Amino acid sequence: MAELDPGWDVGGGILNGGYLLSVVGRAAVLESPHPHPVALSASYLRAPAAGPATLTVVPGASGRTLAHSLVTLADADGPALTVQTTTATLGSGPSEYSHPMPEVPPVEECFSVAEHRDLAPAGVQVPGLSLRVDTRLDVATAGWAFGQPSGEPVLRAWMRFADGREPDPLALLTFADALPPTSFARGNLGWAPTVQLQVLVRALPAPGWCLVEARSSEISGGWVDEDYRIWDSTGRLVAQSRQLARAPR
Amino acid sequence: MAELDPGWDVGGGILNGGYLLSVVGRAAVLESPHPHPVALSASYLRAPAAGPATLTVVPGASGRTLAHSLVTLADADGPALTVQTTTATLGSGPSEYSHPMPEVPPVEECFSVAEHRDLAPAGVQVPGLSLRVDTRLDVATAGWAFGQPSGEPVLRAWMRFADGREPDPLALLTFADALPPTSFARGNLGWAPTVQLQVLVRALPAPGWCLVEARSSEISGGWVDEDYRIWDSTGRLVAQSRQLARAPR
């Protein structure tokens, strides 16, 4: 059982997909011999209601290095999310190869989504999510908030929990779907519901702010992808995600 | 039921993960009201044997736009692959936004893996896969085949079926795991077994060669990611994939 917190909404009472994935990740780890989620692939069947939810973990193949399971998150109306999970033990040893972190202005020169709720464009509701995850947009990717979208479907922001909790692997599952839709950067401020989302957690994050970048490669036929890379405060790549979503109209 | 063809091996009798995914994708489409696979997320539990296999399709939520299912591929020893599938109807209308195809030399100036079986480095077995998928490596990413690895974990190749079949969405599922491991480009010629693989099919591919690019972002702790983008002969982005694999030693 879990209690889905209504404060993690993205507007209209819809709960954030990354938050839901972290609830699933916690359940997977509790039932696994291994302590960390390293790969989660989720199908989003429908938006679950806030409140009580059931988590069903079906263990799969398991070995010395990793364990698989299938987790279903359901509310009173039935299954909302089915997730294939792989758990293992993450290290914090050095990388053999790591994609470098992009150049971004320091946190204090970035655009706080929570502190600019009044600036939200007409029709855009600043979600509860922004109060839980302190999100500081690189101004180079925040033009849409001032009516000047860049046209390039890329968003970047520093992120940490607003309550001061340091990042951990479950936090990275949340951050991996916590930016606004990339379509915002093209001036399209509608909601982009997630259909499938895969998150890979690659290392234990260091304390401090994470840098989160989302990018789309193809928008067509009513579909959009969102591709995330996340670096920790030391500049190490600690997570990646990719989702297929319905493109906002 | 399906018959797994031993000719799709990657060496040592191990069948290619993309080939297995296309077998699953066909099963998903046959049981769906929608004709195309648009998102498949697979957990690779163990390598199935060539020969007879069982495909079990459990339909999930389904609507006017898309349908979900969970497919299990098993051989005589039990489940080998569990896959969450999303099927829908792909179009071939224009893109609103598309990541451009990289500059690559024409096919005839590229390096044919099949025609250079004799050049394979000691210890590297050129797999049956290379006889089924005609793979022409961009020489800029083929230095490893001559003992001069670039160090950058990136591989690019033109691909088409050797038997002349034109690409379709199921073909893209195969191409999305058909390059050698990116670690080859770093001089590490071992096998990199897939743990989880997600493939998104974004559009119906045009006839002709596809360009396939694989790139890793982080190699550490015994794990490697591989990120694919695939463009069709018109330069349109038609598929993406990402996998977590065990890094070769």
ipTM of the prediction: 0.95
Terminal alpha carbon distance of chain A: 36
Residues B30-54 as b/e (b if ≥16 CB within 10 A, e otherwise) read: eebebebbbbbbbbbbebbbbeebe
Residue A168 distance to chain B (closest CA, Å): 17
Three-state secondary structure string covering B176-216: CCCCCCHHHHHCCCCCCCEEEEEEEECCCCCCCCEEEEEEC
A59, pLDDT greater than 80 = yes
**Cα torsion at A199, A200, A202, A204 (round to 10°)?**
40
Cβ contact A220–B60 (<8 Å):
no
Q: Is B56 on the interface with A (CB under 8 A)?
A: no
CB of A108 within 8 Å of any CB in chain B?
A: no
B positions 206-245 inside 8 Å of A (CB): 216-223, 225, 227, 229, 237, 240, 242, 244
The predicted pLDDT at position A92 comes to: 76
Scan residues 15-44 of A and list those with Cβ closer than 8 Å to B.
38-39, 41-43
Q: How many CB atoms lie within 10 A of CB B176?
A: 29
How many Å apart are CA B75 and CA B1, to the nearest integer? 10
B-chain CB neighbours of A193 within 8 Å are: none
Q: Is residue A97 part of a domain?
A: no
Question: From CA B184, how far away is CA B125, in angstroms rounded?
Answer: 13
User: Which residues of chain B have a CB within 8 Å of the CB of A45?
Assistant: 60-61, 68
Per-residue pLDDT, A125: 63
Asked if residue B96 is part of any domain, the answer here is no
Instruction: Give strand ranges (E) for chain A.
Output: 2-4, 36-44, 51-62, 67-75, 78-88, 97-98, 111-112, 133-137, 154-161, 194-201, 210-215, 218-220, 223-231, 237-246
CATH of the domain at B219: 2.40.160.210
pLDDT value at residue A115: 78
Of B86, B94, B223, the CB nearest to A196: B86
- In this prediction, residue A175 carries a pLDDT of 98
User: Residue B148 falls within a domain, yes or no?
Assistant: yes
Say if B204 is an interface residue toward chain A (CB within 8 Å).
no
Choosing among B196, B226, B237, which should be mutated to test the A contact, i.e. which has the most A CBs within 10 A?
B196
A48 and B CB contact within 8 Å: no
Question: Does A217 contact B99 at a Cβ distance shorter than 8 Å?
Answer: yes
Question: Distance between CA B16 and CA B6 in Å, rounded?
Answer: 10
Distances A120 to A108, A147, B223 between C-alpha atoms, Å: 20, 10, 41
Report if residue A127 sits inside a domain: yes
Q: Establish if B41 belongs to a structural domain.
A: yes
A207 belongs to a structural domain: yes
Task: Give CA–CA dist A209/A220, Å, rounded.
Answer: 34
Dihedral in degrees, nearest 10, Cα atoms A89, A93, A99, A102: 110
Q: A93 vs chain B: nearest CA distance in angstroms?
A: 7
Q: Do A244 and B216 touch (CB under 8 A)?
A: no
Please return the burial class of B180, using the count of CB atoms within 10 Å of its CB with bins 0-12, 13-18 and 19+.
buried
| Domain total of chain B | 1
> CB–CB of A242 and B198 under 8 A?
yes
Whole-angstrom Cα distance, residue A169 to residue B106?
43
Domain assignment present for residue A96? The answer is no
Section A189-205 average pLDDT: 95
| A110 located within any domain | yes
Show which of residues 110-149 on chain B sit within 8 Å of chain A, judged by CB atoms. Answer: none
- A54–B contact, CB cutoff 8 A: no
Interface test with A, best of B24, B40, B41, B69 (most A CBs within 10 A): B41
- First-to-last CA distance in chain B? 36
- Tell me the C-alpha distance between B43 and B81, whole Å: 6
Distance CA A152, CA A141 (A): 8
Q: How confident is the model at residue A120 (pLDDT cuts 50, 70, 90)?
A: low
Instruction: Average pLDDT across each block of 10 residues of chain B; the chain has 249 residues. List them in order.
Output: 94 93 98 97 97 97 95 97 98 90 96 74 72 95 92 98 97 97 93 96 97 97 97 97 94
% of chain A at pLDDT higher than 70: 96
Query: For A242-247, what is the mean pLDDT?
Result: 97
Q: Hey, what amino acid is at A85?
A: T
Q: Coil, strand, or helix at residue B6?
A: helix
Is beta strand A133-137 parallel, antiparallel or unpaired with respect to A111-112?
antiparallel
B212 is in which domain, residue-wise? 2-90+106-246
CA angle B59, B20, B200 (to 5 degrees): 65
Indicate whether A114 pLDDT > 90. Answer: no
| Dihedral over alpha carbons A204, A205, A211, A212 (to 10 degrees) | 40
